[in-house]
Chain A
Amino acid sequence: MSLQAWVRRTRVPEPASVRREIAVVEPADLLDVEAKDDPEASPVLCCTGESAGAAAFSALWLKRIAGSGRYAAAVSVRGQGNTPAAPGGVEARAHDLVQAAIGLPRQAVLVGHGAGAAWAALAAARYPAAALVLVAPHKLPKQPPKPVGDPKVLLAVDESDAQSKEAQAITDAYGVAPLTFPGVSGDVFTGPGAEGLLDTILSWLGRRD
Chain B
Amino acid sequence: MQEYSSQAAYDRGEAVCVIGAGAAGLIAVKNLRENGFEVDCYERDTVLGGLWNPENQHSPLYPNTHLVTSRSQTEIPDFPMPDDWPDYPSASQMLDYLKRYASHFGLAEHIWYGSEISHVEPVEGSRFEVVVKPAAGSAARRLRYGAVIIATGHHWVPNLPSYPGQDGFRGTVLHSSQLKDGSRLRGKSVLVVGGGNSGIDIACEAAVNAAECVHSVRRGYWYLPKYLGGEPADYALARLRRRPSWLRGFLTDRLLKGHRELSARMGMEAPDHRHTDEEPIRNGRYLEHVGDGSIRRRPDVARFDGGEVAFTDGTTVRPDVVVLATGYKPKIACCPPGLLGVEGDSAHPKLLARMFSPRVETLAVAGLVEPGVGTLPIVHWQTHAISHWLHIRKGDPERAANFRQQVVSESAQYAVDSTGISPRHQLAVDAEEYLAGLGRIIDTLEQEPVK
Answer whether A and B are interacting partners.
yes
Interface residues of A (CB under 8 A from B): 1-4, 6-8, 10-12, 14-15, 17, 95, 98-99, 102-107, 126-128, 148-150
Identify B80's interface contact among A8, A11, A98, A107, CB under 8 A: A98
> With A3-B438, A3-B442 in contact, is A103–B73 under 8 Å at CB?
no
Q: Is B242 among interface residues, defined by CB-CB distance under 8 A?
A: yes
Q: How far is the CA of A11 from the CA of B439 in the complex (A)?
A: 16
Chain A residues near B80 (CB-CB < 8 A): 98-99, 102, 126
Min CB distance A134 to B, Å, is: 20
> With A4-B439, A7-B435, A10-B72 in contact, is A127–B78 under 8 Å at CB?
yes
> With A6-B377, A10-B72, A102-B100 in contact, is A127–B79 under 8 Å at CB?
yes
Which of B99-142 touch A at CB < 8 Å?
100, 103-106
Q: Are B435 and A128 neighbours in the complex by a CB distance under 8 Å?
A: no
> With A102-B100, A105-B103, A106-B104 in contact, is A149–B78 under 8 Å at CB?
yes
Q: How far is the CA of A51 from the CA of B241 in the complex (A)?
A: 38
Q: Are A126 and B435 neighbours in the complex by a CB distance under 8 Å?
A: no
What is the 8 Å Cβ interface bit string for chain B, positions 87-104, against chain A (1 contact, 0 not)? 000000000000010011
Task: Give the interface residue-count category, chain B.
Answer: 20 to 34
Chain A residues near B100 (CB-CB < 8 A): 102
Q: Are B78 and A126 neighbours in the complex by a CB distance under 8 Å?
A: yes
Which of B399-451 touch A at CB < 8 Å?
435, 438-439, 442
Chain A residues near B241 (CB-CB < 8 A): 11
Q: Are B82 and A102 neighbours in the complex by a CB distance under 8 Å?
A: yes
| Additional A-B contact list (9), CB under 8 Å, known A106-B105, A148-B78 | A10-B238, A99-B83, A102-B80, A103-B82, A106-B104, A107-B106, A126-B77, A126-B78, A127-B79
Q: Is B239 among interface residues, defined by CB-CB distance under 8 A?
A: yes
Chain B residues near A4 (CB-CB < 8 A): 439
Chain B residues near A8 (CB-CB < 8 A): 242
Q: Is B269 among interface residues, defined by CB-CB distance under 8 A?
A: no
> With A3-B435, A10-B72, A107-B105 in contact, is A102–B79 under 8 Å at CB?
yes
Identify B72's interface contact among A14, A99, A103, A128, CB under 8 A: A14
Dominant SS at the A interface? Answer: loop
Q: Is B34 among interface residues, defined by CB-CB distance under 8 A?
A: yes
Chain A residues near B384 (CB-CB < 8 A): 3
Chain B residues near A11 (CB-CB < 8 A): 235, 238-239, 241-242
Q: How far is the CA of A97 from the CA of B442 in the complex (A)?
A: 27
A-B contact pairs, 13 of them (CB 8 A): A3-B435, A3-B438, A10-B235, A10-B238, A17-B83, A99-B82, A102-B104, A106-B106, A126-B77, A126-B80, A127-B78, A128-B78, A148-B78
Across the interface, name the chain B residue whose C-beta is closest to A40: B106
Q: Is B381 among interface residues, defined by CB-CB distance under 8 A?
A: yes
Q: Are A10 and B73 neighbours in the complex by a CB distance under 8 Å?
A: yes
Q: How far is the CA of A15 from the CA of B83 in the complex (A)?
A: 9
Q: Is B84 among interface residues, defined by CB-CB distance under 8 A?
A: yes
Q: How far is the CA of A10 from the CA of B69 in the complex (A)?
A: 13
Q: How far is the CA of A4 from the CA of B432 in the complex (A)?
A: 11
What is the 8 Å Cβ interface bit string for chain B, positions 224-264, against chain A (1 contact, 0 not)? 00000000000100110110000000000000000000000
Identify A1's interface contact among B77, B84, B238, B438, CB under 8 A: B77
Q: How far is the CA of A7 from the CA of B440 in the complex (A)?
A: 13
Chain A residues near B83 (CB-CB < 8 A): 14-15, 17, 95, 99
Q: Are B79 and A150 neighbours in the complex by a CB distance under 8 Å?
A: no
Q: Are A149 and B82 neighbours in the complex by a CB distance under 8 Å?
A: no
Q: How far is the CA of A11 from the CA of B381 in the complex (A)?
A: 17
Chain B residues near A102 (CB-CB < 8 A): 79-80, 82, 100, 104
A-B pairs with lowest CB-CB distance, top 3: A17-B83, A3-B439, A6-B77
Across the interface, name the chain B residue whose C-beta is closest to A98: B80
Chain A residues near B435 (CB-CB < 8 A): 3, 7
Identify A150's interface contact among B34, B77, B239, B442, CB under 8 A: B34
Q: How far is the CA of A68 from the CA of B235 in the complex (A)?
A: 44
Q: How far is the CA of A195 from the CA of B88 in the complex (A)?
A: 46
Q: Are A1 and B34 neighbours in the complex by a CB distance under 8 Å?
A: no
Q: How far is the CA of A4 from the CA of B239 in the complex (A)?
A: 14
Across the interface, name the chain B residue whose C-beta is closest to A95: B83
Chain A residues near B34 (CB-CB < 8 A): 128, 149-150
> With A3-B439, A6-B377 in contact, is A106–B103 under 8 Å at CB?
yes
Chain B residues near A107 (CB-CB < 8 A): 104-106
Chain B residues near A1 (CB-CB < 8 A): 77-78
Across the interface, name the chain B residue whose C-beta is closest to A15: B83
Min CB distance B396 to A, Å, is: 18
Across the interface, name the chain A residue whose C-beta is closest to B432: A7
Chain B residues near A98 (CB-CB < 8 A): 80
Chain B residues near A12 (CB-CB < 8 A): 239
Q: How far is the CA of A98 from the CA of B77 in the complex (A)?
A: 11
Chain B residues near A17 (CB-CB < 8 A): 83-84
Min CB distance B369 to A, Å, is: 15
Min CB distance B448 to A, Å, is: 13
Across the interface, name the chain B residue whose C-beta is closest to A108: B104
Min CB distance A204 to B, Å, is: 21
Chain A residues near B238 (CB-CB < 8 A): 10-11
Chain A residues near B73 (CB-CB < 8 A): 10
Min CB distance A99 to B, Å, is: 6
Q: How far is the CA of A98 from the CA of B435 in the complex (A)?
A: 24
Most buried by B among A10, A14, A102, A106: A10
Q: How far is the CA of A17 from the CA of B241 in the complex (A)?
A: 25
Q: How far is the CA of A51 from the CA of B439 in the complex (A)?
A: 39
Min CB distance A16 to B, Å, is: 9
Q: How far is the CA of A107 from the CA of B100 in the complex (A)?
A: 11
Chain B residues near A106 (CB-CB < 8 A): 103-106
What is the 8 Å Cβ interface bit string for chain B, positions 289-325, against chain A (1 contact, 0 not)? 0000000000000000000000000000000000000
Most buried by A among B34, B78, B103, B442: B78
